[in-house]
Structure 1
Amino acid sequence: MIEPWVLSDGTAPASAAAVLAVLRERISTGQLETWLTSASGRSLAFISNTARAMVMLLDDEDDPGEHAMDPGASGSSDGFILENGQHDEYPNEDTLPLADALQVVEHILTTGAPPPLTAWSIDR
């Protein structure tokens, strides 16, 4: 990994593949919101409904950040359950299919930047 990332529970997976395994395990047990923090203070959020995921990248805790997009996706999806119990619904264009979202996370963890061919919304 370009910079070390730590999960919100304090564990530091050894590789991007290990992070993806943790994300898949958390999703399978109904833990749909996961945050990672890098050594430089950036945060990476992964919030899923098991079919799609919101992937957000923030420079610091006060940053509105940016998120991966699926331009042209129609409709919306619900079932994004946050750790505080809140149930969210997002437009599908603001989320990615789960497999694509996992690839985006892997790319960020291994290169330090979003994939160049993935659309991003800058929320700053």
Structure 2
Amino acid sequence: MAESWSFAGGGAGGGAVAADTVAEALRVRIADGKLESLLESSSGQTLYVVSNTERAMVMLIDHPGDPGEHAADPGAEGWSDGFELSNGQADEYPDTDTVPLDEALRIVRHVLATGRPPADAAWVADR
């Protein structure tokens, strides 16, 4: 059986979300002010995406308790704020630990299609 992904809590219409539709679903969520999204796979992986509408933190967690790994932008300088979590907390991150939104969506699409980040994406293990 192929791995399937869905938004935690049934977001974005509930049910499985396909790799070729996830970018648009995330764009709609972000436009609606839902800057934090959690996708869960049938194999137990979790993909966490939080955006400030321009950049995004993308984390891939293999199992509960795993510190995971995240997308990176090694040449970026500075910090970005406005990463609003669903609990009301507002975070800021170094730009090296986030990626431009279009890159984040490309990464998420690839993870949903293959279960892993694209080989050409900068990636940092937090383990």
TMscore range, shorter length: over 0.9
Shift of 1:110: 0.7
Give the equivalent residue in structure 1 for 2:45: 42
Shift of 1:12: 2.4
Q: How does 1:106-121 map to 2 (within 5 A)?
A: 106-121=109-124
Give the equivalent residue in structure 1 for 2:92: 89
Verify the 8 A CA contact 2:80 2:95 in the aligned structure 1: yes
- One-letter code of the match for 2:9? D
Shift of 1:13: 3.5
Give unmatched runs, 5+ long, in structure 2: none
Identity %: 54
User: Which of residues 20, 29, 42 in structure 2 aligns to 1:17?
Assistant: 20
Verify the 8 A CA contact 2:54 2:100 in the aligned structure 1: yes
Q: Which runs of 4+ in 1 moved over 4 A?
A: none
Shift of 1:3: 1.3
Shift of 1:14: 4.3
Distance in 1 (alpha carbons) for counterparts of 2:113 and 2:96: 25
Give the equivalent residue in structure 2 for 1:7: 7
Verify the 8 A CA contact 2:5 2:17 in the aligned structure 1: no
Instruction: Report the TM-score when normalising by structure 1.
Output: 0.95
- Aligned CA distance change for structure 1 residues 95 and 14 (closer, same or farther; 3 Å): closer
Instruction: Report the TM-score when normalising by structure 2.
Output: 0.93
Verify the 8 A CA contact 2:5 2:18 in the aligned structure 1: no
Verify the 8 A CA contact 1:13 1:19 in the aligned structure 2: no
Distance in 1 (alpha carbons) for counterparts of 2:101 and 2:82: 13
- One-letter code of the match for 1:5? W
Give unmatched runs, 5+ long, in structure 1: none
Distance in 2 (alpha carbons) for counterparts of 1:21 and 1:98: 12
Q: What is the count of residue pairs matched by the alignment?
A: 123
Root-mean-square deviation (CA, aligned residues, Å) is: 1.0
Cα deviation code 1:36-95 (max 9, x no counterpart): 110011100010000000000001121100000000100010000000000000000000
